Structures are given as C-alpha cells and as structure tokens.
C-alpha cells in the first residue's frame, strides 16, 4: 500500500510513496502523531536530482527489514528541500552545529517530537563503510539514546535553540557609515582565492557561484575594476570549454568534481542556468566574444527545449542518473562517437572533444570538452581551419541526435516560483542584450503563468505541479519575481508587469520585513511556526533573497519614484552591513545592492514613436552598464507619473539620477556618449 506521500505534488516525495517505510509529509498530522506517541522523528531531506538520495533510498528505504525498524522506532518524515527550503535551511544549520561538519543531501536528522534535532548526518550506508555506521545499527542506537538519555538531550536542545537564534540576528549600522570597503574586500578576497589556470575559486569541488561572478562583472563595468573583469572572463571561458557545460545540448550542471571543470556532478538545475545565461549574454556584449554568445544561445535553447512545460513555465531539474548510473546519458565511448558521425568527420570529432588520450570518466569513457582551439584541431586532422566551425556544428548535431535516443535522466517536473523567476530574469536580460525577441516572449509567458497560477491576488505560492499550486511563498519567491519583473519592464513595458511589480513589492515589505531591525525574514509573518524564523544575507546555491530584494526594491523605487521601496532597501543594507564588513565573502548579491546604493542607478526613459524608441532601447542595452535602467515607453499614456515625460514625433531620451534629469536628448550619438559608448 502506498504511504502518505502518494498525494504530494513533489515528484521526489512521490518516488518514495511505495517504500515500505511509513513516510509522511511534514504536516500537522505527522507532527501531532510524534507528540501524541512521544516518538522521535526521523527526518530525511533530499531532492529528485540527488544521486546519493537515490542510493540511500535503494539501499535502505526500499528494504523491508530496514523499514520495519524505522516504522517501529520513529515517525518518519520525508521532505523535498526544493519545496521546503525553510526546513532545509534550519536543519542544515543545526546539522553543522551538532556535527561540526558541512551538510548536504540526503540530510538525515533525528528530532524530538517538538521538532528539535538531537542527532544528524547525511548519507548512511546499510552496513558500516568508509568510517560511517550502518544505518540500522545507527537508528537503533539513536532510539536507545532517546529513551535513556532524555535529560542530556533536553540540555543540548536548550543550547541548540540559543545557537540557532543567533543565526537570525542582524545589526543596525547607520547609513552614513556605508562605504565601498566591504565591496573592495570581497573582490580582493575572490582574487586571493582565484584559480589563475582554470578560473573559479578554490580547488575541487568547484561551483560556478553566479552571484560572485555577477558582482565581479558589475565592478568591472561600473567601477573599472580590471582584475574583476579578468576573473569573470577567464572563469566563463574555462567553464565553457569544460564538461560542466553540456557541449552538445547546452546548459550547465551543478558543479564540477575537479578543478578543471571537466567532470561534473551531472544534475542540471534550473536555478543555475538562468543566472549563467544572463552572465554569458552580458559577457558576450562586453567583450564581443562569439563563444560566449554561442553558450548563451545554446543554454537558452536547452531551457526552452527540455525544461519548458506546455503551460509556459519551467520545470525544476534533470537527474544526474539514468538507468541507475550517474552520467550515463552524457558520456561517450570512441565507438559510439564513430557510429554517430559521418565517416569524414570522425577524426575531427575525436580530436575536438579530447578523446585522443586516456578516458576521463571512470577509466572507460569520455565526458566531452572543447579545450583545444578549432584551428589547432583542424591542423591536426588536415582540415581547412575555415571549415572547422561548420564541421563542429555538424558533429554536435549528429551526436545530440544520437544521444536523444538514449534513456533520458529523470525530470523533476514541479514548477518552483523562485527558480522560474531566475530563468525569467536570465531570458529577459539575455534577450535584451542579444536581440532575441523570442527569449523575451518566453520570459513573459512564464511570468504570466506565475501571475495567473501562483499569485492569489495577495500572496505568492511556492510550487505548482499537475494543476495544483501550494505552499506559502518564501522570501526568495518574492525577491526573485520582483527582480525578474524589473528586467521584463526594460525588455518591454507591459502595464500588467508594472502593476504586478508594485503588488509583489508591497507584499514583500508587509509579509517579510522587520520594521525594527531591517532586512527580511525567509518566511512570511503568517508562516507555520518552526524552530526558527530564518534570516540571512549570505548567498548560497541561490542568491540571497535579502540581497536580491534590496537591489530590486532600489531599482523599482528609482524607476517609479517610491520612497518606501528605497527606505526598505536601505534598512536591509543597514541590517547586514556589519556582517559584510566583518566577513565580506559570500555577500555578492548584497554587495551589488550596496554598490547601487552608493551610486544610484541611472534611469533612461525613452518617449516618442514606439518602434524608434525600441530601436534606441536595444542599442542602449548593449552600451549601458548593469546599474542603468532603460525603459522604452513610446507614446503610452498608462505609465507612472515619474515616467510620464512629454511625447513628440521623434525620440526623446531623459537620463535621470534620483530626482534630477538631464535635458531631453534627441540624437542617438549624444545618448550613446552619455552611456559611455
């Protein structure tokens, strides 16, 4: 018989519906049972694309003998960390405090009936291995500890509650003390950790960290920081050459297990690819790099081809595994490549994808990279260098078609509001910069879905699956949607987007803001009461909701002339500025917001014939730095009063900073000069 997960919206939870474990979702029924029966909770947190989550499920949760012990000793709760990032944040933090080690997934936490963790770990094997205890032995010992050591557990819980409460505390630094010192310290810190050979920061495993790269590119373009620009450029080049990037189908995997970006952990997450799409598009324009443009085009194509739902929203992730093996869908043997491409292209294909040497994946196969310049490869195989690009395109198409016949990785087809917003923002920004109206249209369609299916008129919901939207939205949902709307308004001004931006911003302030200390909590004021109401300014796998909110509120405040948005952004920076001073690393999103507080963004308002305004806006987007907002309003009458500039029969551009605007500019060359072109 299926357990209680059968009715859930999460594909990850439904994967466990037929386990012999009596899994329950995190809800009042499960928590009440634990309190009533005075039983500890075994909480397992994972996600659909997680390789080790699947391993532990096959080894332990599908085993009837293991399930019998779990069911007898615990109330067993399974959580999808992507649907419940609030729970994941709390219990990952608690795990670090309890174990002194970083967490991960699957996260295995043992809770008292009131939800307080008293023991935790990540993956546990079925039998002792690699210094880890066997899972059944472990849970029997934990249950015995719960029975025999209540007093010690109660004392530990008191200390843990106090320690967790400290993680949500913020400071209160007067805005008069703001300077660019934390920003410069962050850039210096990244330079000290920078890998001069392969880009990125530190050694293996290596993550892209889009928020840090966005900060560096912002500092290069807005402040002339040459070393910041060099770090971004090399990192984007090396990632595009390696196997973190899917050389056939486009898109990026989550991280690389080596420092060269060659072998990834193969899951593809929507949340990485939206920000990376925007970064590559901006870098393509900034350095006039055709390869960066190609990466942006292929990443957008992947998202629209493989991740877009029939309703126009975007699904969440692709698994690392297929047919039970990680990476099986993506890796190649020489024989498979030779069978897929035309005979005349075989030598080139093997050479260009680095298959001439030893296999780079588990000793028997290759994961493709493009390390060598095409003209060098052409010379090796006796090909005219002028033809190399066309041959590569032909080879890629043939291999992609052959790969399409394989068993595909599993798809997590839930729609997450925050992750969709990141892809919407990426598509809209890349579409503006690279002149792709189809990407902008796809971004608008996805935002229409969010507004129609995930917004009830007063609040956002966090997730949608199979026609059902549910779960109270988190700070990231509101902040990322607001940032995406600001980008969409620059791509094409739509009244419904402007109205939605105001509604989302007002709900963000009302539901998440701390009027006393500043900044925003991760959960709303009417959210389920949990062990902690989290609040953080650090970027993680996703950008910080506080950092994104602060910047988006500033942008919207300057665009619409709304002081309360600017005040809220200032309050957020006041709350986290002390932390940014003490330890600058990891605050990339807040650093961008601080930079634009210190030098407020310019607003360029274009009025006149719509087609001419749009043409000017397209050219301005490629010239303007990331701290400049450009809106093409044409002859529209339904615009907010600060943007309602006079309309004539030719284009006029108003360049404004704060409440001051230059005289209208009606010659493109003058506007280009003003924008730095």
Residue extents of the structural domains in the chain: 4-167, 182-322+412-598, 330-405, 602-674
The pLDDT of residue 372 is: 92
Tell me: the pLDDT tens digits for 231-253? 999 999 999 999 999 999 999 99
The pLDDT of residue 652 is: 97
Q: Is the pLDDT of residue 659 over 90?
A: no
The pLDDT of residue 522 is: 98
Q: Is the pLDDT of residue 270 over 80?
A: yes
The pLDDT of residue 356 is: 84
Tell me: the pLDDT tens digits for 399-444? 999 999 999 999 999 999 999 999 999 999 999 999 999 999 999 9
Question: For 358, how many CA atoms within 13 A lie in the half-sphere containing its CB?
Answer: 3
According to DSSP, the β-strands at 602-607 and 628-634 are parallel
Q: Is the pLDDT of residue 130 over 90?
A: no
Q: Is the pLDDT of residue 677 over 80?
A: no
User: pLDDT over 70 for what percent of the chain?
Assistant: 100
The pLDDT of residue 181 is: 98
Instruction: Report d(CA 312, CA 233) in Å as an integer.
Output: 33
Homologous superfamily of 4-167 in CATH?
Answer: Glutaredoxin (3.40.30.10)
DSSP string covering 562-600: -HHHHHHHHHHHHHHHHHHHH--TT-HHHHHHHHHHHSP
Name the token pair of 293.
């443009």
At 225, the pLDDT band (50, 70, 90 cuts) reads very high
Q: Is the pLDDT of residue 476 over 90?
A: yes
Q: Is the pLDDT of residue 658 over 90?
A: no
| CB of 71 closer than 8 Å to CB of 37 | no
The pLDDT of residue 660 is: 87
Q: Is the pLDDT of residue 318 over 90?
A: yes
Burial of residue 114 (CB within 10 Å: 0-12, 13-18, 19+) is exposed
At 55, the pLDDT band (50, 70, 90 cuts) reads very high
The pLDDT of residue 258 is: 97
The pLDDT of residue 674 is: 95
Between the CA atoms of 482, 484, 486 and 489, what dihedral angle is there, to the nearest 10 degrees? -130
| CB of 556 closer than 8 Å to CB of 565 | yes
Domain 182-322+412-598 belongs in CATH node 1.50.10.10: yes
Compute the mean pLDDT over every residue in the chain, rounded to the nearest whole number: 96
The pLDDT of residue 11 is: 93
Residue of 303, 230, 301, 247 lying closest to 273 (CA atoms)? 303
- Mean pLDDT for 567-579 is 98
Tell me: the pLDDT tens digits for 167-205? 999 999 999 999 999 999 999 999 999 999 999 999 999
Q: Is-cis flag, bond preceding 106, omega within 30?
A: yes
The pLDDT of residue 231 is: 98
Q: Is the pLDDT of residue 1 over 80?
A: no
The pLDDT of residue 330 is: 98
At 31, the pLDDT band (50, 70, 90 cuts) reads very high
DSSP string covering 75-124: EEEEEETTT-HHHHHHHHHHHHHHHSS---SSEEEEE-TTS-EEEEES--
The pLDDT of residue 633 is: 98
Between the CA atoms of 320, 255, 232 and 262, what dihedral angle is there, to the nearest 10 degrees? -80
End-to-end CA distance of the chain: 67
């Amino acid at each position: 018989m299926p357990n209680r997960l059968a009715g859930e919206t999460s594909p990850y939870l439904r994967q466990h519906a037929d386990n012999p474990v009596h899994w329950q979702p995190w809800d009042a029924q499960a928590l009440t049972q634990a309190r009533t029966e005075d039983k500890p909770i075994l909480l397992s947190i994972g996600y659909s694309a997680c390789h080790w989550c699947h391993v532990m499920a096959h080894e332990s949760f599908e085993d009837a003998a293991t399930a019998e012990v779990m069911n007898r000793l615990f109330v067993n709760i399974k959580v999808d960390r992507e649907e419940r990032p609030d729970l994941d944040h709390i219990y990952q933090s608690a795990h670090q405090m309890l174990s002194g080690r970083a967490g991960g997934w699957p996260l295995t936490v043992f809770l008292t009936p009131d939800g307080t963790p008293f023991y935790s770990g990540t993956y546990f094997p079925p039998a002792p291995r690699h210094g880890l205890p066997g899972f059944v032995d472990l849970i029997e010992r934990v249950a015995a500890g719960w029975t025999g050591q209540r007093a010690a557990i109660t004392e530990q819980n008191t200390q843990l509650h106090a320690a967790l409460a400290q993680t949500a505390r913020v400071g209160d630094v007067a805005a008069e003390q703001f300077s660019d010192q934390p920003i410069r310290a962050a850039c210096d810190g990244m330079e000290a950790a920078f890998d001069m050979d392969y880009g990125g920061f530190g050694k293996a495993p290596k993550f892209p960290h889009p928020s840090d790269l966005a900060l560096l590119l912002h500092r290069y373009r807005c402040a002339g920081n040459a070393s910041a620009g060099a770090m971004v450029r090399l990192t984007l080049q090396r990632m595009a050459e390696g196997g973190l990037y899917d050389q056939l189908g486009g898109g990026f995997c989550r991280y690389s297990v080596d420092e060269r970006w060659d072998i990834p952990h193969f899951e593809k997450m929507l949340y990485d690819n939206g920000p990376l799409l925007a970064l590559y598009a901006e870098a393509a324009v900034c350095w006039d790099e055709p390869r960066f443009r190609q990466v942006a085009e292929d990443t957008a194509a992947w998202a629209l081809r493989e991740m877009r739902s029939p309703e126009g929203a975007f699904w969440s992730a692709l698994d690392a595994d297929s047919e039970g093996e990680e990476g099986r869908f993506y890796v190649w043997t020489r024989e498979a490549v030779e069978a897929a491409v035309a005979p005349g292209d075989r030598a080139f294909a093997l050479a260009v994808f680095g298959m001439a040497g030893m296999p780079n994946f588990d000793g028997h196969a290759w994961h493709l990279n493009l390390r060598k310049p095409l003209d060098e490869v052409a010379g090796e195989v006796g090909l005219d260098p002028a033809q190399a690009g066309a041959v590569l395109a032909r080879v890629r198409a043939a291999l992609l078609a052959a790969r399409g016949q394989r068993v595909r990785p599993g798809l997590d087809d839930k729609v997450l509001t925050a992750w969709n917003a990141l892809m919407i923002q990426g598509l809209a920004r890349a579409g503006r910069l690279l002149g792709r109206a189809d990407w902008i249209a796809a971004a608008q369609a996805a935002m229409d879905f969010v507004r129609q299916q995930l917004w009830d008129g007063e609040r956002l919901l966090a997730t949608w699956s199979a026609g059902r939207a549910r779960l109270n939205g988190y700070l990231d949902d509101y902040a990322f949607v607001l940032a995406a709307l600001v980008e969409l308004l620059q791509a094409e001004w739509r009244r419904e987007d402007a109205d939605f931006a105001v509604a989302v911003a007002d709900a963000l302030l009302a539901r998440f803001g701390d009027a006393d200390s500043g900044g925003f909590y991760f959960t709303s004021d009417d959210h389920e009461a949990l062990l902690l109401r989290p609040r953080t300014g650090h970027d993680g796998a996703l950008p910080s909701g506080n950092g994104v909110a602060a910047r988006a509120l500033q942008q919207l405040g300057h665009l619409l002339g709304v002081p309360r948005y600017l005040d809220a952004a200032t309050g957020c920076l006041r709350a986290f500025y002390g932390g940014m001073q003490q330890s600058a690393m990891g605050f990339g999103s807040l650093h961008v917001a601080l930079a634009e507080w210190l030098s407020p963004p310019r607003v360029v308002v274009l009025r006149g014939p719509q087609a001419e305004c749009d043409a000017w806006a397209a050219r301005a987007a490629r010239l303007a730095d990331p701290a400049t907002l450009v809106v093409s309003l044409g002859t529209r009458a339904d615009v907010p009063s600060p943007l309602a500039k006079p309309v004539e029969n030719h284009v006029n551009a108003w360049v404004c900073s704060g409440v001051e605007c230059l005289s209208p500019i009606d010659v493109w060359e003058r506007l280009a000069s003003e924008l730095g072109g």
